[in-house]
A and B are shown apart, each in its own frame.
Chain A
Amino acid sequence: MTFLQLKDVSFTYPNGFQAVQHINMQFDLGESVAIIGQNGAGKTTTVKLMNALLKPTSGEVLINGENTSKFTTAQVSKKVGYVFQNPDDQIFHSDIYSEIAFGPKNQKLSASEVKEKALHAAELCGLTKWLEEHPYNLPYAMRKFITIAAVIAMDTDIIILDEPTAGQDRHATKLLVDLINHLTAQGKTVITITHDMEFVANHFNRVIVMAEKQVLRDANAREVFWDHELLGKSHLKQPYISQLAYSLNLNEPIITLDEMVSAIKRRINS
Chain B
Amino acid sequence: MSMITMKNVYYQYPLEKEQVLKNINLSIEKGKVYGLVGHNDAGKTTLCNVIRGFIPSFYRGKLTGEIELDGKTIQEYSMGDLATRIGYSFQNPFTQISGVKETVFEEIAYGLENLGTAPEVIGEKVRELIAMFKLDALQEKNPFELSGGQKQRVALAAIIALDPEVIVIDEPTSQLDPQGTEEIFKIIDLMKKKGKTIILVEHKIDLIAAYVDEVIVMSQGEIKMIGKTSEVFTNKEVLTYGGQLPQVALLSLALQNAGITMPTIPITLVEAQQAIEKILSREV
Contacts and interface: CB of A to CB of B under 8 A. Distances in A.
B124 to A, nearest CB: 27
Contacts of B177: 37-39, 195, 235-236
B40 A236 contact: no
Given A240-B206, A265-B260, A86 B94 contact: yes
A197 B180 contact: no
B41 interface: yes
Contacts of B103: none
Nearest to B149: A39
Contacts of B92: 86, 88, 140
B136 to A, nearest CB: 14
Contacts of B203: 167-169
B100 interface: no
B269 A169 contact: no
Interface in B220-275: 242-244, 246-248, 250-251, 254-255, 258, 260, 269, 272-273
A264 B39 contact: no
B72 to A, nearest CB: 31
Contacts of A139: 40-41, 45
B181 interface: yes
Nearest to A167: B174
Nearest to A40: B147
A268 B260 contact: yes
A244 interface: yes
Contact of B247 (A88, A257, A258): A257
Contact of B273 (A17, A171, A237, A248): A248
Interface stretch (B21-29, B79-87, B186-194, B276-284): B276-284
Contacts of A195: 149, 175-178, 181
B40 A169 contact: yes
A247 interface: yes
Interface majority SS (helix, strand, loop, mixed), chain B? helix
B165 interface: no
A167 to B, nearest CB: 4
Interface string B21-59: 000000000000000001111000100000000000000
Interface string B75-101: 000000000000000011011000000
A235 B180 CA distance: 9
Interface string B190-208: 0000000000000100100
B179 A247 contact: no
Given A15-B145, A171-B242, A141 B181 contact: no
B178 A236 contact: yes
B171 interface: yes
A139 B92 CA distance: 11
A257 B253 CA distance: 11
Interface string B114-157: 00000000000000000000000000000001011110000000
Most A CB within 10 A of own CB, among B171, B177, B246: B177
Given A139-B45, A167-B174, 14 more contacts: A38-B180, A44-B147, A44-B148, A139-B40, A142-B41, A163-B175, A167-B203, A171-B39, A195-B178, A247-B269, A248-B276, A248-B280, A264-B255, A268-B260
Interface of A: 15, 17, 37-40, 44, 85-86, 88-89, 138-142, 163, 166-172, 195, 197-198, 235-237, 239-241, 243-244, 247-248, 257-258, 260-261, 264-265, 267-268
